[in-house]
Structure 1
Amino acid sequence: MSEVTKIKRGLDIKLIGKADKVLEKADRSETYAIKPTDFPGLTPKLKVKVDTEVKAGSPLFFDKYCPEINFASPVSGKVIAVNRGERRKILEVVIQADAETQYEEFKKADPNGLSREEVKAELLESGLWAFVRQRPYDVIANPQETPKAIFISAFDTAPLAADVDFLLEGEAKTFQAGIDALAKLTDGKVHLNVNPNMNESKVVSDLKNVSINKFTGAHPAGNVGVQIHHLDPINKGEVVWVVRPQEVVFIGRLFNKGIYDVSRKVALCGSEVKTPCYFETITGTSVRNILKGKLKDDEKIRVISGNVLTGTHIAEDGYLGMYDSQITVIPEGDQFEFFGWALPGLKKFSMSKTFFSWLTPNREYRLDANLHGEHRAFVVSGEYDKVFPMDILPVHLIKSILVEDVDLMEQLGIYEVAPEDFALCDFVCTSKIEVQDIVRKGLDLMIKEMS
């Protein structure tokens, strides 16, 4: 075990509605969907059309610029819709599920006995390569490259985040198989980053073929980008791959069972949930049956696939995102509050001491999606630096992206960051700047300029 790396800058947002470690099972969803919008930088090309019969693991579409990367159906059934947006952009491929899932059959083998190319070919053919992402650019990994290391964060510090130990419960063998497969893909180490205060499961502590590193601190200490920055920073020309813990399990199932099995545990949490808990479901599921009977009826709500900082707003019958392990439900907050800024604010959260709520540091808050103000001029206030735990100048980097100065973006560390690393900057920004959107545009610009 390595020494503990303490992340000193950050912010824990304590919200009401943490999921209890109780696993429930909702009625099986009638429809599932894979959303190309979950994959930044992807230009999808369809392999199916409406009324096509598919199995779990059948390819639905592929990447136009890297055709070997397939995106597979999570269930068996019939394609019933290809929903499009502006300029015919593909938003969703919707599958009506069979009562019992039928799987495509893939090669079942011990990853330790396979070559790098054989492991890579299995992941590409099955569609599981979509779960392997890379830094820089925070996009799906390029299978033609070899990363200097692979990073897995075994804890999540985002608001109301799912407990990773609970998500991995009972998956020790498949998790180890996934680790063994990933180890074949790099000449460097597979880094598994843990928090000694959060990770107590033997699924993590008894692993082989990994380098275990300890991190503690406030959010975003659990972000893999922050961990990479402190452990093995990315320089120009270097590539690091990242995989989430449950997705390592998906990879392990492929080699242990020879099937594309993306069933997962999901935390249903938030202040507008009656009894926050965990559900066993499948990636891409409609959240309708999970939410049924679980929500309070007192006001308008916002359903988020993911956490409140980086998740995606979806409808109450929308679909779970490809990489998400939680569904968060909070008040919409579309009402106006007269003189809200002038009241004591005992029940309002503030990073500064604007409200008297700072006298109760352990209070949990019922926050909504209200901006509490309008967009303003970009004011340099030093707020970003208090919550951004990298040796990067966040305001300078954001401004270099806004003026599209590629050379300056490189010098200021664009290769090391992802939008999620700036989520707290979004939250604390006095000017209401959508910092994550700006970072995503900057990364897309770098891909265009470097291609």
Structure 2
Amino acid sequence: MSKLVKLKKGFDINLAGKAEKKVEAFPMVKTFAIKPTDFLGMERPKVLVKEGDTVKAGTPILFDKKMEKVQFVAPVSGEVVEIKRGEKRKLLEIKILADSEIEFESFEKLTDGDIQAASREKLIDHMTQSGVWPQIIQRPFGIIANPADEPKAIYISGFDSHPLAPDYELLFKGQEKAFQTGVDVLKKLTEGKVYLGLKAEGAVPAAFATVKGAEVNKFSGPHPAGNVGVQIHHIDPINKGDIVWTVSPFGVAQIGKLFLNGIYDASKVIALTGSELKKAAYVNTYLGACVDSFVAGNTKSDHVRVISGNVLTGSKVNADGYLGYYDHQITVIPEGDYEEFLGWIKPSTTKLSFHKAIGMLSFLNKDKEYIVDTNTHGEERPFVVSGAFEKVTPMDILPTYLFKAIHAEDYDEMEELGIYELVEEDVALCEFIDPSKNEIQALLRSGIELLMYS
């Protein structure tokens, strides 16, 4: 039975630099890259190509030795121009110089009837060999799902509540059939249900409005209402021993396109956002695009931070860096490498802050759009128990005590306090409002890894 979940805890970060709702033309992206660092839990990547090789979209280029069945494939056709490694030969990027017209590897097409008649094993084999499987993420731990497991349910969040989040209506326009086919495939992978979480307010994106075979639940309230982890918590919380899978709407549509068209289609619409962009808009590209085509000559100054993703959970990239595998947004904000005397304690009418003593007017003028930079306005200091974390975590857990348990490496306490329900995005607001300036997302990941490898 569908639910309407009204969330009160959380915090909306209203930033300047929203993308204008139209797709703009930008210079052609020349290079694309797959970055193993985008895949949490990947331990032993094995490269299947060498520099100078030519590939098509869908050609296997990489796999993880601990899960050899899952192939990571080229997002575009072209020439492998660099296999970049770091310290101790750690694999960082596989770069591809793209063809002007993309060529595709051919995979088997399956009709609706074929999908219904196919075994679960056949569908999984098709998805792992063609490159779409990494779109399926396992909870707990937030890692790529193991095809050998069977989840108790599969969850899709149909909206994004992060700062400057893109409009899903625009991102998935015209993909109704692909999304439905993706849902049909996912239904065959679990004995449980496929859940779709939608925003309670406003119009439902056309791609999700008529979907069949998924239980639709609606959520209202501030960020992190759009986080799939929050939605799971209010539908059927994850307990020790449970496995659930999550898939982004892009991943669902990509799975659908594989079965409908027989190709690995990495095309996507992404949002260019942030106060420091001259032109904040949407653009058609492919997964792993080099950001220089969107950023070069499009910033108001040279002293900026380019982020693949959003300001809470995204990753810093160079001006010639690459879009993250799971990101559908690029954000550009001012760099904050300056010192500010008593900056962490001075009340301000211009700073955005969750704490009323500092950001006094952010509560009086909720429609104001703020320009934020990367300055933390203070240094890391002893862990302060302020009670603020609980106000931005709309889940029945005690985040302050959980973080202390991770610090103490208390395995039993971590489990009892709900670590299995969380990944980094679920505690990003805690990091944003933390008066102690702790790297809480990294702290949570350290706790997750303690349990993963114990």
- Tell me which amino acid in the other structure corresponds to 1:392: I
Aligned AA (1:360): N
Preserved contact between residue 306 and residue 333 of structure 2 (Cα < 8 Å): yes
1:434 aligns with 2:435: no
Deviation track 1:175-194 (CA, whole Å, cap 9, x = no partner) reads: 11111111111111110100
In the aligned structure 1, how far is the partner of 2:50 from the partner of 2:412?
A: 43
Equivalences for residues 24-103 of structure 1 within 5 A: 24-43=24-43, 44-103=45-104
Partner of 1:9: 9
Letter in 2 for 1:202: A
**Aligned-residue offset at 1:199:** 4.2
- SS of structure 2 residue aligned to 1:23: coil
| Structure 2 unpaired stretches of 5+ | none
1:318 is aligned to 321
Instruction: State which drifts further: 342-351 or 147-156.
Output: 342-351
Partner Cα distance (2:202, 2:91) in 1: 39
- Whole-Å separation in 2 of the counterparts to 1:306 and 1:231: 27
What is the aligned counterpart of 1:261 among 255, 261, 265? 265
Q: Which residue of 1 aligns with 2:420?
A: 415
Match of 1:23 in 2: 23
State whether residues 269 and 328 of structure 1, in contact with CA within 8 Å, keep that contact through their aligned partners in structure 2. Answer: yes
2:384 alignment partner in structure 1: 379
RMSD: 1.3
SS of alignment partner, residue 24 of structure 1: coil
Amino acid at match of 2:130: S
Q: Which amino acid aligns with 1:26?
A: F
Q: What secondary structure sits across from 1:121 in the alignment?
A: helix
Q: In the aligned structure 1, how far is the partner of 2:255 from the partner of 2:108?
A: 12
Question: Aligned letter for 1:150?
Answer: I
Inter-partner Cα distance in structure 2 for 1:240 and 1:340: 43
Measured after TM superposition, the shift of residue 163 of structure 1 is 1.2
Distance, in Å, in 2 between the alignment partners of 1:183 and 1:217 is 29
Give the Cα–Cα distance (whole angstroms) in 1 for the partners of residues 3 and 453 of structure 2: 39
SS at match of 1:359: coil
Letter in 2 for 1:281: T
Is contact 1:54–1:73 with CA below 8 Å preserved after alignment? yes
> Which shifted more, 86-95 or 365-374?
86-95
Say if 2:273 and 2:331, in contact at 8 Å, map to a contact too.
yes
- Contact 2:6/2:219 (<8 A) preserved: yes
Which residue is 2:133 aligned to?
129
Return 343-352 or 303-312, whichever deviates more. Answer: 343-352
Instruction: Give the count of matched residue pairs.
Output: 448
Q: Deviations over 1:17-64 (max 9, x none)?
A: 111210123232111100000001102111112112211111111011
Shift of 1:143: 0.4
Instruction: Name stretches of at least 5 consecutive residues in structure 1 with no aligned partner.
Output: none
Deviation at 1:147, TM superposition (A): 0.5
Would you say 1:327 and 2:296 are equivalent positions?
Answer: no
In 1, Cα distance between the equivalents of 2:374 and 2:446?
Answer: 23
- Listed one character per residue, the Cα deviations across residues 179-219 of structure 1 (whole Å, up to 9, x for unaligned) are 11111111111101001214423321211111111111100
Q: Which residue does the alignment assign to 1:301? A: 304
SS of residue paired to 2:68: strand
Deviation at 1:342, TM superposition (A): 6.3
Quote the Cα distance in structure 1 between the aligned partners of 2:79 and 2:207. Answer: 37
| 1:255-289 Cα distance to aligned partner (Å, 9 max, x none) | 01100011000000010012211001000010111
1:276/1:407 CA distance change after superposition, 3 Å: same
CA offsets per residue over residues 199-246 of structure 1, 9 Å max, x none? 423321211111111111100010000000010111111110000001
Alignment partner of 1:405 is 2:402: no
Report if aligned partners of 2:168, 2:205 keep a CA contact under 8 Å in 1. Answer: no
Higher mean displacement: 112-121 or 340-349: 340-349
Match of 2:243 in 1: 239
Q: 274, 278, 299: which one pairs with 2:278?
A: 274
Where 1:294 maps in the other structure, the secondary structure is coil
- Does the CA-based 8 Å contact 1:55-1:77 persist in structure 2? yes
TM-score (norm. length: structure 1): 0.97
Name the CA distance, whole Å, in 2 between partners of 1:308 and 1:123. Answer: 32
Matched, 1:166 2:170: yes
* C-alpha distance in 1 between matches for 2:32 and 2:206: 33
Name 1:202's counterpart in structure 2: 206
- 2:453 equivalent to 1:448: yes
Query: For residues 359 and 352 of structure 1, do their structure 2 counterparts lie closer, same or farther at Cα, with a shift above 3 Å needed?
Result: same
Instruction: Look up the match of 1:108.
Output: 109
Cα deviation code 1:367-422 (max 9, x no counterpart): 00001110101111111111111111111111211222212211111111111100
Is 2:189 aligned against 1:185?
yes
> Structure 1 vs Structure 2: percent identity of aligned residues?
50
CA contact (8 A) 2:76 2:98 kept: yes
Matching of residues 326-365 of structure 1 within 5 Å: 326-341=329-344, 344-354=347-357, 355-357=359-361, 358-365=363-370
